Amino acid sequence: MKTLILGLGNPIRGDDAIGWVAAEKVYERVKAPGLFLDLASVGGLYLLDLLVGYDRALIVDAAETGEHKTGTLFRVEIRKGDTKSSYCTMHQIDIFQALDLGMKLKLDMPEIINFYGIEVENCQCYSEELSLSVKTAIPHIVNQICAEEFG
């Protein structure tokens, strides 16, 4: 089985880098045959490009829901069949839509995609520093993802 750990975000936009940092640490800890790491600053259709060819994907990304305390990790499972058949955004095409499109085009999409969002404080400025609250949460975030995904 080919598994992808995909860190999303922008490393020069403050907390937006947390997806990269967490994905890298999870990969370093688990490092098993068939496990691959990718880090990207993309969304939409570009996301689809990255997912093709894997059986399973874990996506780690910053999130600004305003519903969680900063540094909180939350998981969204995406399965084939969960997808929505219509959408109206394009470059902002989300994971559901990318998967939907991939399925309709009969591309080799992962059977399992788990999305891990990390609530962040600030992605609106140019900085290579994570905020303290996000930085402090890293060990817990990595432990939690490893426990959920790799037992």
Partner 1 sequence: MTKNKITIEPITRLEGHGRIEIFLDEEGDVSRAFFQVPEFRGFEKFAEGRPAEEMPVITSKICGVCPTAHHMASGKAVDGIFHVEPPPPAKKIRELMYSAFLVEDHALHFFFLGGPDFIVGSDAPAAERNILGVIKKVGMEIGKEVINIRKQCRHIISTLGGKVIHPVSNLPGGVSRGVSREEQKEFIETGKASVRFAEFSLKIFDDIVLKNGKHLDLVSGDTYRHETYYMGMVDEKNRVNFYDGNIRVIDPNGKETARFAPVDYLGHIAEHVEPWSYMKFAYLKNVGWHGFKDGPQSGVYRVGPLARLNVAEGMATPKAESEYERMFEMLGGKPVHNTLAYHWARLIELQYAAERLLELARDDEILDPNIRSMPTATPSEGVGVVEAPRGTLIHHYLADEKGLIKKVNLIVATTNNAAAICMSVESAAKKLINKGKVSDGILNMVEMAFRAYDPCLACATHSVPGRMPLMIRICNHMNETVQVIKRD
Position 14, amino acid = G
Of 120 and 137, which has the nearer Cβ to partner 1? 120
Q: Which of 87, 133, 138, 149 binds partner 1 (CB under 8 A)?
A: 87
Cβ pair 60, 8 in contact under 8 A: yes
Q: Which of 31, 32, 88, 151 binds partner 1 (CB under 8 A)?
A: 88
| Binding positions for partner 1, 2-21, rule CB under 8 A | 8-13, 16, 19
Tokens of 43: 């969304």
Tokens of 126: 């140019």
Shortest Å, Cβ 78 to partner 1: 7
Query: Helix 44-51 crosses helix 95-104 at what angle (to 10 degrees)?
Result: 60
- The answer to whether 37 contacts partner 1 (rule: CB under 8 A) is no
Count of residues binding partner 1 (CB under 8 A)?
50
User: What three-state secondary structure class fits 16?
Assistant: helix
Position 101, amino acid = L
Cα–Cα distance between 37 and 83 in angstroms, integer?
25
Q: Which of 24, 37, 56, 127 binds partner 1 (CB under 8 A)?
A: 127
Residues that bind partner 1 (CB under 8 A): 8-13, 16, 19, 40-43, 45-49, 61-65, 76, 78, 84-97, 100-101, 104-107, 115, 117, 124-127
